[in-house]
Amino acid sequence: MHVKADHLDFRCLNRALQTANEDCTVSGCLGQRFIAAGMGNRHISISGIPGNALGAYLNGARIEVTGNAQDAVGDTMNSGTIIVHGNIGDAAGYAMRGGEIYVKGNAGYRAGVHMKAYGERVPVLVIGGRAGSFLGEYQAGGIILVLGLNTDGKPLVSNFPCTGMHGGKLFLRGDCTKILFPKQVTVHIADSEEQKSIQPYVEEYCRLFDADLDELVRMGYNKDEVEFCYAVLVYDAELIKKHIALKTNPKVYVSGELAPGTGFRNDGTSYSALFSCLDFHYDAVVYYGVIDYWTGNEINKEQSVRGDDVLNLLQAAAYLRLREQLKNI
């Protein structure tokens, strides 16, 4: 069903959608409020700009907006999916307790405010760009994921994220060293299990907005680190020697598809050159000082170690990984 909204107020538009027993396409949307409020089990496509409270109390419908959306997208939604191919205003996902919201661009203030899990429902809000102040304010459950794409050098999140947060998880992809978090939240680098838990939402974001997953996971790592991990994975001795000489940090994760970046093997585990050396050559790594040579994300410039030892360890790790892969063919 096609609904031309350019001459309808919000009551008439919503009445037309509520009485239709089929998927709907809305064109010429001009800020009408409460579109598809409480609706379920249908697909609604919208061109133009929907007004406040798009998909409020949503109960299973799928809403897709070709442009931007205003405030309170998904207010108190229970289930369903909202997809916005532009930016959104303030208070997106207010008190949502189920369903998923995907935003290609940026979000305004108070995204995810009062978000909560309800029973087995876990609400998810994925923001492709950056978010305004008070992100995750009073969050009690669910997942907020900010990917930090195309931010033009602007901060990933503005002031006072996680104010009053007492549940749920917030994932920020980017440099968080200058972000001031409140004392009641625990802040750490996401481990492999946590990264695995959000992988389906990252993949869905890429599918919806034609993003390149490999490019997405590569971002944030410098060229030398990427090349070094690739060299170890494909057993390129010359490249390995090059990066030993450059003292490139090998503690960088690579995906199971050999794409550099933060990712997983096909069996769901993560991989790095240094950790593989530890797995297979623990004594040599510890006693030869390799583990001290590379510490965290910075090379210990005062620590010396034989380049040949490092090369042998990395090549052995690459060989053993290749052997594992061949077993599965």
Tokens of 184: 């009641």
Instruction: Tell me what the mean pLDDT of segment 39-68 comes to.
Output: 95
Closest CA to 69 of 98, 43, 35: 35
Residue 13 backbone zone (phi > 0: left; psi -120 to 50: alpha; other: beta): alpha
Helix (H) or strand (E) holding 208: helix 192-209
Beta strands across the sheet bearing 79-84: 2-4, 24-30, 43-49, 59-65, 79-84, 100-103, 124-127, 140-146, 167-172
275 pLDDT exceeds 60? no
* Type of residue found at 306: R
Q: What tokens does 195 get?
A: 């990264």
Task: Give the confidence band of 267 by pLDDT, cuts at 50, 70, 90.
Answer: very low
- Output the six-digit token pair for 250: 């090998």
pLDDT, one tens digit per residue, over 237-262 is 677 778 777 777 655 544 333 333 33
* Residues 60 and 79: beta-carbon distance below 8 Å: yes
> Could you give the CA distance from residue 165 to residue 10 in angstroms, rounded to a whole number?
34
- pTM for this prediction: 0.67
Q: Is the pLDDT of residue 99 over 50?
A: yes
